[in-house]
Amino acid sequence: MRPVSIIGVGMIPFGKYPEKDTADLAWPAIKQAMEDAGTDRDDIGIAYCGSVYGGMMIGQRTLTRLGMTGKPIINVENACSSSSSAFHQAHMAVASGAYDVALVFGVDKLSQFGGGTIPLVDEDWEISQGMLMPALYAMRACRYMHETGLTTEQLAGVSVKARAMGAHNPDAQFQKEISLEEVMNARPIADPFTLLHCCPTGDGAAAAVICAGDVAHKFEAAPIKILASDLCTGTYLTGYRDMTVPEITVRGASEAYEEAGVGPEDIDVAEIHDAFTIAELLYYEAFGFCGRGEAIRLLEDGVTSIGGAKPVNPSGGLLSKGHPVGATGIAQITEITRQLRGSCGARQVEGARTGLAHATGGGAMGMDHGACSIHILQR
């Protein structure tokens, strides 16, 4: 396997575009990433598309608009990890030597459902019994609060921090700060979550161009190195399971750190999967940014805010930037790439050299999550 670098990224501002086709959400992000990379269409050897609700051949339907046909196009569905899983596949395709340059993008249009919780597959017995993603995360919160003494008010602080970060991101779905009272007093969804503990539904697309490390300089003066590309699946259990320790992310983090040759202390900036407030805290601990039960201290001490020692979700995260599920993984990688380039303006993490992106999801009975993909990048 050979080194691989990111040479271009792009995304459209996340939001609601009910009048657009899914494919029309995606092509502007791809064009932006291609221009950012300085690649021509003929440079791309293979393309991957991550999407959950884009439907059959969403990759092909998108790339026909850009006249990028003939080469292999592969569609990847892995719930919230769809485009990060696609990125993992693209990385393998280039690292193996099979292709020199690959395009990977993610897109989804949740506005087609008109709001509410995302549709799940009711062949799964728990889902047939009414399991909803907010309920799943809410039970994690319930148990974590029971075991550690975390309060609902403290939990609400995660959203306040996310919105404060997103306020500086022109690509975020929400670009306005909110108060603790607004989070606490929003309408209830699944206790202890009010609406503002939950990521919004929305539409979006993001794209990246990756390239073999030894030819990256032809396109980009300062390519971003991919130190680790990890993908794993939750361990299936029929019995008891500790919902306060997300085993899939703990395992993935361990694999990614080993592959990259770095540890949690080396991560300067991270984009992690904060689909609901509790997730951000569980993942601080899963990534080893702090010990068990200490996550709220990191948040309240400002360690994970811009200017802190370990900024997390400077883009605003899923809670503020938005979570068009299939687009999320590449949008996180786009943010980390821009952070490592130093091009993030008011939300820039000064001097960031090594960053991490983490997308996990998929409600599946007996698993913490269906999929988890972690990437560690370095300038």
Partner 1 sequence: MAMDQRAGHLEPGHVIAGDAGLHLKGGACASCGALAFPKPAICSGCLSEDIADAPLAGGGVLYAYSVIHVGRRPDLPYAVGYVDLADGVRVFTELTRTDGLCPDMKVAIEISPEAEGYRFNAAPVEAV
319 vs 81, 130, 150, 275, 353, CA distance in Å? Answer: 16, 23, 20, 6, 25
Q: Which of residues 225-254 bind partner 1 (CB under 8 A)?
A: 236, 238-241, 243
Nearer to partner 1 (CB atom), residue 116 or residue 351: 116
* Residue with the two structure tokens 């990614």: 256
Ranges within 102-131 binding partner 1 (CB under 8 A): 116-117, 120, 122, 125-131
Report, as residue numbers or ranges, the catalytic residues.
80, 323
Site for partner 1 contains 134 (CB under 8 A) = yes
**For partner 1, which is the closer residue by CB, 60 or 117?**
117
Using rule CB under 8 A, residue 92 touches partner 1:
no
The verdict on 364 binding partner 1 (CB under 8 A) reads no
Question: Residue 60: which residues within 8 A CB-CB, separation 6 or more?
Answer: 69, 73, 75
SS (H, E, C) 209-227: EEEECCCHHHCCCCCEEEE
Q: Whose Cβ is closer to partner 1: residue 181's or residue 191's?
A: 191
Helix, strand, coil percentages (3-state) for the chain, rounded to 5, are 40, 20, 40
Q: How far is the CB of 36 from partner 1 (least distance, A)?
A: 40
Q: Is 187 in the site for partner 1 (CB under 8 A)?
A: yes
The number of residues that bind partner 1 (CB under 8 A) is 35
Helix (H) or strand (E) holding 146: helix 133-148
- Cα–Cα dist 311/291, whole Å: 17
d(CA 99, CA 177): 44
Residues 192-221 that bind partner 1 (CB under 8 A): 192-193
Please identify, among the stretches 45-53, 82-90, 135-143, 201-209, the one whose residues bind partner 1 according to the rule CB under 8 A: 135-143
By beta-carbon proximity to partner 1, the closer residue of 239 and 307 is: 239
Q: What single-letter DSSP state applies at residue 122?
A: T
Q: Please report, as ranges, the residues that interact with partner 1 according to CB under 8 A.
A: 116-117, 120, 122, 125-132, 134-135, 138-143, 146, 187-193, 236, 238-241, 243, 365
